[in-house]
Amino acid sequence: MKPSTLPKRIVVKFGTGVLTSGIGQLNAERIAAICSQLAALRAAGTEIIVVSSGAVGLGMGRLGLAKKPRDVSKKQACAAVGQSLLMQYWQRGFDPHGLTVAQVLLTHDDLRLRDRHLGVKDCLHQLIDYGSIPVINENDTVSAAEIKFGDNDTLSALVASLAGAQHLVILSTAPGLIDLRGTGKIVPVVAKITPEIEAMAGGTTSETATGGMISKISAAKLAVRAGCGVFIASGAEPDILPRLLAGTGPGTFFVPSGLPMDSRKRWLAYFQRPTGSLHINTCAVPVLREQGRSLLAVGVTGASGAFSAGDIVNVVAPDGAVVARGETAYDSGEIPLIAGLQSPALRKRYPARKHLEVIHRDDLALL
Task: Say if strands 229-234 and 252-254 run parallel, antiparallel, or are unpaired.
Answer: antiparallel
Query: At 97, is the secondary structure helix, strand, or coil?
Result: helix
Binding residue per annotation — 211?
yes
Binding residue per annotation — 354?
no
Binding residue per annotation — 213?
yes
Binding residue per annotation — 53?
yes
Q: Is the dihedral of CA 285, 362, 230, 86 positive or negative?
A: negative
Pick from 193, 239, 219: which is nearest to 1 by CA?
Answer: 239
Please, which residues bridge with residue 104 across strands? 136
How many residues in the chain?
367
Contacts of 182 (CB under 8 A, 6+ apart): none
Integer Cα distance of 50 and 171 in angstroms:
11
Binding residue per annotation — 178?
no
Binding residue per annotation — 87?
no
Binding residue per annotation — 215?
yes
Q: Torsion angle, CA of 281/287/293/298, rounded to 10 degrees?
A: -30
Binding residue per annotation — 216?
yes
Binding residue per annotation — 13?
yes
- Percentage helix, strand, coil, to 5, in the chain? 40, 20, 40
Whether residue 325 contacts residue 312, with contact meaning beta carbons closer than 8 Å, is answered with: yes
Annotated binding site for substrate: 53, 140, 152
Annotated binding site for ATP: 13, 210-216
Annotated binding site: 13, 53, 140, 152, 210-216
